[in-house]
């Protein structure tokens, strides 16, 4: 009732607000500022794709105006094993994401649903691992993996990728789980579901959107990870995309066309995956749970 009584004046006020005249100076300034902002944000990305279709030679000097387009750069990176790097990245990140997300779902379910001793320390530990500078891990990990002869082993890298994405995956997932009322679990347990069945058949389907967002974010983090990959993979044929991209920077000369094509190929999957989940991530982010 109150809603109906309150609404009409509110609508009227808003309407008046919308039709209020802004001075032409202000309007022009807002348009100019918007155009500048859009240019600042978008132009480097547009430039990657534009330049990736230009002959390498035309990227040097001011000859970029001529409208010559070519697939030469893409052919070039393809010849230089980029397909291989892409396959390696897909293989490593794909498997790691599945493991990381499943393990995270289990842990976060228990963290959000059950009371047990020392839970505070577990959360504290998660935070610690989230803020830890990865660069510090590089040498110890390299030595550790070298001892067990695990350098140039994709499974070693997968283990790393699972663990580096676990803390914030759990954190993010606990947040999504909190939005699901615990009455659901209680009702299911009352009806004779086992504890695992309750999680698997009652909660998991409802958590699906959160799982998709978390998995996507983990995937993107692994997809662009550079440090661990460079420490653990030295054989060219085993390298991942970010390492492949770095390979195109020569010591003296840089083939910008090839670099741009490689950048375009690295960014495209990230863009396509990122756009559908971004609003969900923003929600999780204001809760302080995403790793950048």
Question: Please, which of residues 132-191 interact with another protein by CB under 8 A?
Answer: 132-141, 143-144, 159-160, 162-164, 166-167, 170, 174-175, 178, 182, 185-186, 189
- Provide, rounded to whole angstroms, the least separation between the CB of residue 46 and another protein: 8
Using CB under 8 A as the binding rule, whether residue 192 contacts another protein is answered as no
Asked if residue 110 lies in contact with residue 93, where contact means CB atoms within 8 angstroms, the answer is no
**How open is the CA angle 23-29-30, to the nearest 5 degrees?**
90
Near another protein by CB under 8 A: residue from 90, 95, 98, 110: 110
Q: How far is the CB of 97 from another protein (least distance, A)?
A: 15
Helices (H), 224-255: 227-232, 241-247
Enumerate the β-bridge partners of residue 249. 254
Q: Among residues 238 and 259, whose Cβ is nearest to another protein?
A: 259
Among 90, 95, 103, 151, binds another protein (CB under 8 A): 103
In this structure, are residues 166 and 291 in contact, taking their beta carbons and an 8 Å threshold? Answer: no
Q: List the one residue from 24, 61, 192, 205 that touches another protein (CB under 8 A).
A: 61
Interacting residues of 153 by C-beta distance below 8 A, sequence separation 6+? 145, 232
Q: Which of these ranges, 66-74, 77-85, 107-115, 148-156, lies near another protein under the rule CB under 8 A?
A: 107-115
Report the distance separating Cα 259 and Cα 45, nearest Å.
13
On whether the CB atoms of residues 248 and 238 are closer than 8 A, the answer is no
Kindly identify the residues of this chain, within the stretch 212-271, that bind another protein according to CB under 8 A.
220, 223-224, 226-227, 242, 245-246, 256, 259-260, 263, 266-267, 270-271
If one asks whether residue 97 binds another protein (CB under 8 A), the answer comes out as no
**Nearby residues of 229 by Cβ (< 8 Å), 6 or more positions away:** 157, 239, 240, 242, 243
How many chain residues are in contact with another protein, going by CB under 8 A? Answer: 109
């Amino acid at each position: 009732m109150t809603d109906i009584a309150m609404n009409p004046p509110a609508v009227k006020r808003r309407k008046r607000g919308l039709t209020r005249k802004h001075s032409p100076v202000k309007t022009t300034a807002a348009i100019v500022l918007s155009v500048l902002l859009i240019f600042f944000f978008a132009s480097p990305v547009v430039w990657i794709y534009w330049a990736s279709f230009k002959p390498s030679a035309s990227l040097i000097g001011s000859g970029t105006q001529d409208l010559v387009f070519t697939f030469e750069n893409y052919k070039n990176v393809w010849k230089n094993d980029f397909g291989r790097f892409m396959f390696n990245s897909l293989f490593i990140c794909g498997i790691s994401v599945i493991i990381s997300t499943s393990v995270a779902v289990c842990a976060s379910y228990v963290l959000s649903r059950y009371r047990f001793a020392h839970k505070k320390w577990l959360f504290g530990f998660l935070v610690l691992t989230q803020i830890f500078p990865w660069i510090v891990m590089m040498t110890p990990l390299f030595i550790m993996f070298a001892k067990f002869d695990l350098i140039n082993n994709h499974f070693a890298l997968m283990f790393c990728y699972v663990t580096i994405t676990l803390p914030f995956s759990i954190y993010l997932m606990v947040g999504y789980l909190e939005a699901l009322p615990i009455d659901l679990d209680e009702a299911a347990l009352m009806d004779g579901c086992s504890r695992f069945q309750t999680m698997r058949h009652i909660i998991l389907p409802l958590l699906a959107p959160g799982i998709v967002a978390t998995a996507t974010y983990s995937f993107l983090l692994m997809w662009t990870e550079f440090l661990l990959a460079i420490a653990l993979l030295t054989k060219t044929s085993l390298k991942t995309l970010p390492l492949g991209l770095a390979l195109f920077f020569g010591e003296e000369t840089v083939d910008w066309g090839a670099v741009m094509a490689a950048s375009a190929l690295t960014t495209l999957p990230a863009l396509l995956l990122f756009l559908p989940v971004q609003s969900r991530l923003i929600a999780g982010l204001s809760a302080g749970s995403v790793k950048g």
